[in-house]
Amino acid sequence: MKLARKDILGLQDVSREEITLILDTADSLKEISSRSIKKVPTLRGKTVINLFYEPSTRTRTSFEIAAKRLSADAINISPTTSSIAKGETLIDTARTLESMSPDIIIIRHSASGAPHILARLLSQSIINAGDGFHEHPTQALLDMLTIREKKGTIEGLTVAIVGDIAHSRVARSNIYGLITMGASVRVCGPALMMPRDIGRMGVDVHYDMEEAIRGVDVIMMLRIQFERHHNSRYPSTREYARSYCLNEAKITGAKKDVMVMHPGPINRGIEISPEVADGPYSVILDQVANGVAVRMALLYLLLPGEQL
Ligand code: CP
């Protein structure tokens, strides 16, 4: 089965059946990464373009690895080494790339809505790899794959998302996806880091971290998005850490089998202590591994190619 849509721009309008199909496909593709020859011919002859206007380690690399494991050709474009540095616009760049007949374009951009512009303009499939503080759907899908893998289900779990909610595209996509899959979601952070529309998102809002993580199955810590703060959101990082850094003392108030997640990159000692990030509750590196599987699944499900 394939996805009956051209693009993946966000999870707000993605159904439970579609998310389940993506996670099931990722589950079955994950095994390829543990083979000695990590390659299948499924997308031979297809071309994938990674168009990243913002820095990335996990998303860009895992999309490239995902494409190569499915035998597609993967091309990376960055602002510093392309004609974007000469002032070429997003639309001109997109039209130029379209003329070279790629099959799919993966875009990360600082402007919310940039992938939607490309999706309207181009016939190729578009995947949003993070747009401003709007959505990061592939991150939420890999997070849900990790939760399902470790907990056996998503339905009925309680997930606390803690940190800079207002500037986090990861938080927004996870809120949409987790609620669609039947989880209860709590969000927690300082008032100045809460989005204005949080009351309409179907989550429980907390400002006290101990209270927010009490009894939850999953704690998802977020990076403070310093690069998106145009004015101060908190008196100091030390004060932020005192209230919202997940450390060994705070985690004692959570469930014994709580699972700790972080999309990365981590500000160690600000939102999560090194002992927790590297400790027994952490699944941070499992999330990274699942990023490859989820991105393989999306390429497979959006592009015509050989059946698995
Ligand atoms: N989680 C995430 O998007 O990481 P990168 O910025 O390294 O891609």
CATH number at residue 39: 3.40.50.1370
Measured in Å, residue 170 CA sits from the centre of ligand 1 at: 10
Confidence of residue 235 (pLDDT cuts 50, 70, 90): low
| Mutation probe of ligand 1 site: the residue of 51, 53, 54, 57 with most atoms within 8 A of C-beta | 57
- pLDDT for res 279: 97
Classify residue 9: in a domain, yes or no: no
pLDDT at 232: 61
Res 244: pLDDT: 96
Residues 141 and 131 both lie in one domain: no
Closest-CA residue, ligand 1 atom 1, reads: 263
pTM score: 0.96
* DSSP assignment of 223-286: ---GGG-SS-SSS-HHHHHHHH-B-HHHHTTS-TT-EEE--S---BTTTB-HHHHTSTTB-HHH
CA of 61 to the centre of ligand 1 (A): 9
Domain count, the chain: 2
Q: Ligand 1: distance of its center to the CA of 129 in Å?
A: 9
**151 & 205 share domain:** yes
Q: 4-43 pLDDT, tens per residue?
A: 999 999 999 999 999 999 999 999 999 999 999 999 999 9
Q: Which domain holds residue 227?
A: 137-284
Q: 4 lies in a domain?
A: no
Do 193 and 266 belong together in one domain? yes
Q: Would you call 296 helix, strand, or coil by DSSP?
A: helix
Distance 201 CA to ligand 1 centre (A): 24
Strand order in the sheet with 158-162: 204-206, 184-188, 158-162, 218-221, 259-261
Residues 154 and 105 in one domain: no
- The pLDDT > 70 percentage for the chain reads 97
Give 274 or 237, the one with higher predicted confidence: 274
Q: Are residues 40 and 104 in the same domain?
A: yes
Nearest CA, atom 6, ligand 1: 56
Q: Tell whether the model's pLDDT for residue 140 goes beyond 70.
A: yes
Q: Provide the 3-class DSSP secondary structure of residue 161.
A: strand
The pocket around ligand 1, CB under 6 angstroms, is made up of: 56-59, 130, 139, 263-265
* Mean of all residue pLDDT scores within the chain: 95
Please check the confidence at residue 225 and state whether its pLDDT lies above 80. Answer: no
What atom of ligand 1 comes closest to residue 291's alpha carbon? 1
Test site for ligand 1: of 52, 58, 226, most ligand atoms within 8 A of the Cβ = 58
Report which ligand 1 atom has the smallest distance to the Cα of 55. 6
For residues 50 and 159, membership in a common domain is answered with no
Residue 121's CB: how many other CB atoms inside 10 A?
14
Is position 131 within any domain?
Answer: yes
* Best residue among 51, 53, 56 to mutate for probing ligand 1, ranked by most atoms within 8 Å of CB: 56
Q: What is the pLDDT of residues 184-194, one digit of tens each?
A: 999 999 998 99
The verdict on 117 and 230 lying in the same domain is no
Please tell me the predicted confidence (pLDDT) of residue 224.
Answer: 86
Whether residue 271 is found in the same domain as residue 147: yes
Residue 308 in any domain: the answer is no
Q: Residue 305: which pLDDT band, with cuts at 50, 70 and 90?
A: confident
Given this model, what pLDDT does residue 7 score?
98
* C-alpha to C-alpha distance for 54 and 69, rounded to whole angstroms: 24
Quick one: 62 and 75 in the same domain? yes
Cα 134 to middle of ligand 1, angstroms: 15
Specify if 2 maps to a domain.
no
pLDDT tens digit sequence for 59-74? 999 999 999 999 999 9
Nearest-CA residue for atom 4 of ligand 1:
58
Banded model confidence at residue 286, pLDDT cuts 50, 70, 90: very high
Q: Are residues 249 and 292 in the same domain?
A: no
Instruction: Encode pLDDT of 165-182 as tens digits.
Output: 999 999 999 999 999 999
One domain for residues 141 and 269: yes
> How far is Cα 296 from Cα 22, in angstroms, rounded to an integer?
10
**Which residues does 18 contact at the CB level (< 8 Å), separation at least 6?**
3, 5
Looking at the structure, do residues 126 and 165 belong to the same domain, yes or no? no
Residue 192: how many other CB atoms lie within 10 Å: 12
Amino acid 230: pLDDT: 61
Any domain includes 6: no
